[in-house]
Structure 1
Amino acid sequence: MTQRELADRAGLSPKHVNQLIHGLVRLTPDVAESLERVVGTPARLWNRLEADYQSTRTRLRYTRDLEQYAGWLKELPVSELVKRNVLPEEPKDGPSRIDQLLAFFAVATVDVWRDMYERPTACAFRKSKVQDSKLGSLATWLRLGELEALQIRCAPYDATELKRSLPDLRALTTMSAREFRPKLQEICSRSGVAVVFVEEVKGARVSGVTRKIGSKRVIQLSLRYRTDDQLWFSFFHEVHHVLNADDEMRIEIADKTDHEDPRELEADRFAADALIPPQYAHRLADLTSKTQVRAFADEMGIAPGIVVGRLQREHPRRWPYRNGNDLKRSLDLLEV
C-alpha cells in the first residue's frame, strides 16, 4: 500500500502520513483507531508503540543533555558511594552514572541539585565557615543522613519532652557504643528527634548537623574524632539548636569555631553545662590526676573521657592534649 493510498483509506492527508512514517508528528489515538480499521492492527498496539517511541526519544534526549554535566561527576565522591554499596560499580562514568546520582539525591537535574545544596549553604552560613569543605562531599554526607533519618519513626516533636529527657541522655555517656546507640535513638524519637550516625565522607570535614526534615528534627553526627568526649559534646551542642527551634540547617564544620555567632557559643555552653553542671564545674581546676578524674566522673555519673576533654579545653597547661587520652573511649562507627 502506498502512502497516498493509506492516506485516502484512513482519511488523512498524504503529508500527515509521510510525517507519521518519519516520526515527525505523534500518532494520536484517533489515528490509531483509523489504522486499525485500514490495516487490521489493533489500536492498542499502535498506541503502545507510539508511547514506547516517545519514551525512547525522551530518554535519548535526556542522555545527551546529561553529557554536559560530566564535570559534576568530579565534584562528587562516587568511589566512596560505590564502596558503601550505595551505587553499583558500573558504569564508571557517563550519563548512566549521572542518572544514578540524580536518583540518589532524588532530584530531576543537576541544576536542581545546585539549588538545593549550594544556595542553602551559601545563605545559611558565612562562606568562611564552609569554604574548607568540598560541597559534593558535604552534600553526599547530608543525603546519606537524610535517607537514614527517613527510616526512623518519631513521635511529633515535643521540646518539653526533649528537655525532660536530658538526664536520661546524659546517663548514656557511661555506656559502650553498642549499648547507647539504640537507647539514644529511642529516647530522642519519643521527642520527635531522629538521631543518625553517618561516617564522614572524605572532604566534608563535618562533625554534625541539625535540620528539619518534614515534621522531624534530625541530629546527624559523623564521629569524626571517634572519641566519646567529642561525640557527646557534639550531640548536646546539636540538642541546643533543636531546643531553640533553630530550623535553619546548622552545619558544624570540623576544626572551625565561629566565635562571632552567639548561637554557636550558646550551644557550646549548653553542651558543657549539660555534661558537667555549672555548680560542679569549679572543681575541675582541682583535678590533677587520673584517679581524681575517675572519682569525679563517677560522682557526676558521666564517662571519665568527658571530664578529660573538658580539662584539655579549659586547662591546657595542666592537662595538655595527650594527658589523659587513655581515659577516653574510642568509638567505632561499625559498633555505633
Structure 2
Amino acid sequence: MGNVIQNQYTPDYVSPPGETLEEILEERDMSQAELAERTGRPRKTISEIINAKAAITPETALQLERVLGIPASFWNNRERHYREALARKEEQERLSKQVEWLNQLPVKDMVKKRWIQFYQDKVEQLREVLNFFGVASPDQLQMVLSGTNVYFRKSPKSPSDKNAVAAWLRRGEIEADEIKCTPYNANKFKEALQQVRALTVEPPEIFQSEVVRLCAVAGVAVVFVPELPKTQVCGATRWLSPDKALIQLSLRYKTDDHLWFAFFHESGHILKHGKRELFLEFKESQLDKEEKEADTFAADLLIPPTEFKRFLASGKQRSKDGIRQFALEIGIAPGIVVGRLQHDGILPPSHCNELKCKLR
C-alpha cells in the first residue's frame, strides 16, 4: 500500500451552474428578463449568476424550482460542487508553490515504512503529507511545532532533524488513536508498572501486547514506532488529553536493557511531571531536573536500591552466573542488570553483552 504510485485527475476548467441555467433558458426560449420577472429577482442578479459573478442562493434555488420545475436540490448541489471545485483549484495553485517544502521532510522513509502513500505528482504528495500531519498547509505545521512545549535531552554528537522527529511523533499519535484506553488513573498505572516489570523476562511476542493492554487499562497508550533516520530519539512521553497519556518507544538500540529503561523512564514522566509538556529522550543527553528524576524512577523501579547494594556487596557483579542469579532473585531480565552495571561503570561496555536480549 505504501509504495503504490497514484495520480489524481483534476480538471483545469470548472463549469459554473450559470452555464447550465443559460442552456436551459435557451432550450425553453426564455429570456433572462422573463426569468427575472417570474422569479422576482433583479435582472442584474440573473445576469451575474449566468456569468458566474454571483452564487445561486438556497432562496434562488427554490425560485428556480418553481419557475423551471427543476428541484432546488439540483441547483444547490450544482452551486456547492462548483464552489468546492473552485476552492480545490485555488488550493492546487497555492500548494504548487509550496512543493519544495517536501525536500525538508523524510518523505521517502515515510513511504518506505508505509506511513504514507507515494504520488508522482508533487502537489498530491504534498496533500498526502499534510493529511498525515493533520494540518491544512506547511505554515500550519510550523505553527503547531513551534507551539509545542518540549523538554528533551539532546546529544551534541548526533543532532537530530526536527522534521524527522515531528513525523515520528505524529506516527505515534496516529497509532495511539487506535488504542482504546480507560481514563488515566495513577494508582492503576503504578500497579500496571509492577506487572510490566515482571514481563521483562518474556520474549517480545508475549510482552509487547501485554504491555499495551496493561497500560491501556490505566489510561496510558504504549506504541512501538521504529525510528526514522536522523531522529536519534529513544522515546517520548506526552498527554493526548487530560485522561490519556502516550508512551512512544523507538527500539533505537535494539536490546532489552535500553527498551525497558526507556519505558520506565517515560513512565516516570507520566507519574511525576506535568501534563502539558512533551518529553523527548535522546541518547547522550544533558540532563535537567525532570530527566534526572525520570532516570532515578526507572533505575530504582527496575532494581531496588537496597537489592542493588546487596548485590554489589556480594562481589558477584562481574560474574555472568552471579548476574543471572541476581536477576532471577529480583525477577527481571539479566540484560537489564548488565545495562545498569555498564551505566554505572562497574562493567566495561564490552562485557556480558551476551546476557542482553536482542530485539527488532
TM-score by length of 2: 0.83
Q: Is the contact made by 2:39 and 2:63 (CA closer than 8 Å) also made in structure 1? A: yes
Match of 2:302 in 1: 275
Identity, in percent, stands at: 40
Match of 1:138 in 2: 165
How do residues 1-336 of structure 1 correspond to structure 2 at under 5 angstroms?
A: 1-89=30-118, 91-120=119-148, 123-125=149-151, 132-214=159-241, 215-259=243-287, 261-282=288-309, 283-284=311-312, 286=315, 287-315=317-345, 319-332=347-360
Q: Is the contact made by 1:284 and 1:311 (CA closer than 8 Å) also made in structure 2? A: no
| RMSD, aligned α-carbons | 2.3
Unpaired segments ≥5 residues, structure 2: 1-29
SS in 2 for 1:331: coil
Compared with structure 1, are the counterparts of its residues 6 and 161 closer, same or farther at alpha carbon in structure 2 (3 Å cutoff)? closer
SS in 2 for 1:247: coil
Cα deviation per residue 1:172-207 (whole Å; 9 max; x = unaligned)? 111111111122122212221111111112222211
In 2, Cα distance between the equivalents of 1:124 and 1:288? Answer: 39
Unpaired segments ≥5 residues, structure 1: none
In 2, Cα distance between the equivalents of 1:252 and 1:34? Answer: 61
Q: Is the contact made by 1:207 and 1:224 (CA closer than 8 Å) also made in structure 2? A: yes
**Displacement of 1:93:** 4.4
Match of 2:8 in 1: none
SS in 1 for 2:221: strand
SS in 1 for 2:329: helix
Compared with structure 1, are the counterparts of its residues 128 and 7 closer, same or farther at alpha carbon in structure 2 (3 Å cutoff)? same
Q: Which moved more, 1:261-270 or 1:250-259?
A: 250-259
SS in 1 for 2:286: coil
Match of 2:4 in 1: none
**Displacement of 1:129:** 6.7
In 1, Cα distance between the equivalents of 2:203 and 2:256? Answer: 9
TM-score by length of 1: 0.88
**Displacement of 1:245:** 4.1
**Displacement of 1:328:** 0.7
**Displacement of 1:290:** 1.7
- Which residue identity is paired with 1:61? E
In 2, Cα distance between the equivalents of 1:37 and 1:155? Answer: 55
SS in 2 for 1:74: helix
Q: Is the contact made by 1:206 and 1:251 (CA closer than 8 Å) also made in structure 2? A: no
In 1, Cα distance between the equivalents of 2:335 and 2:292? Answer: 22
Compared with structure 1, are the counterparts of its residues 118 and 132 closer, same or farther at alpha carbon in structure 2 (3 Å cutoff)? farther
